[in-house]
Amino acid sequence: MINKELLNILDQVYKVTGFDAQHYRPSTLKRRLERRLLATRSKNYREYLVYLKKYPSEHNKFLEALTINVTEFFRDKRIFHTLKRKILPDILEKTAANKKKRIRIWSIGCSKGQEPYSLAIILKEILKNRSNRFQIIIHATDLNNSVIRQAKTARYEKSEIKNVPQKYLNKYFIKNNNNEFKIKNNIKKLVRFRQHDLIKGNSLGKFNLILCRNLFIFFTLEPQKELIKKIHASLRKEGILVLGTAETVKYEDLFSCLSFSDHIYQKIT
């Protein structure tokens, strides 16, 4: 349950930013809000509401605390193995069989870009010298504009690339003078970043593959239903959806399960 004091904070954030945080689970809201109470030295929700009204910039800091997600390159290696060995080759084969070239992928909640860049690397590995046979477009979206700005730089510290295999590091990254690792342009150009609110925003078109991992767990049941329907409508015929390892699709009339262990689903048309 969301108590009145927390509701007052959410109403204030909505007035200023237009973002309705009431879709989030109360436990998530309270946990993320505690960080801002500590950062602003507010003793309770009432004091934090006063702080919000006094310092308008805090509204965006609250949103950043709420929407920030932990991510890394090739997170959940088993899933990326399945994508490389089975899912993406099948998508490429079906696209070629239909005499089409365009492959559209959507990484939802992309954070600083590790997931979409990992997908781009895998596709390069699969295609090798056949890249010109397909037009690859990876759309990467996040509500948090600050992480989108970081993702667009394609620069990562050493600690952020620890899961990248050495062969990929040598092939697709450049180490700069600041001891950062920058993704090469042949990978970077495959990904298009933009700020996007999945709940309020429009669909970005039709996709062969959508990854929406570790996002549903933050929402209450009703928003989850609406998000699943929106994702279903955004997939092409027999399109593929990948969820997080703690998430499942409960709508058998919309999706069939391709892999319970990898949480991969296919659109039913």
Using CA atoms, how far residue 215 sits from 30, 45, 67, 143, in Å, is 17, 26, 9, 11
Question: By the 8 A CB rule, do 103 and 59 touch?
Answer: no
| In contact, 197 and 225? CB cutoff 8 Å | no
Stretches where the chain sits below pLDDT 50 are none
Q: What's the pLDDT score for residue 128?
A: 86
Report residue 100: phi and psi, to 5°: -120, 165
Q: Which CATH number among 3.40.50.2000, 3.40.800.20, 3.40.47.10, 3.40.50.150 corresponds to the domain 77-267?
A: 3.40.50.150
Q: What is the pLDDT of residue 92?
A: 95
> What is the Cα–Cα distance from 219 to 207, expressed in whole angstroms?
23
CA pseudo-torsion sign 215, 217, 218, 222: positive
Token digits of residue 254: 């919309």
Q: Which CATH class is domain 4-67?
A: mainly alpha
pTM for the whole structure: 0.84
77-267 matches 4-67 in CATH topology: no
Domain chopping of the chain, boundaries: 4-67, 77-267
Q: What is the pLDDT of residues 80-100, one digit of tens each?
A: 999 999 999 999 999 998 889
Residue whose structure tokens are 């609110």: 197
What's the pLDDT tens digit per position in 129-140?
A: 787 789 999 999
pLDDT of residue 137: 96
- Match 């990326």 to its residue by tokens: 80
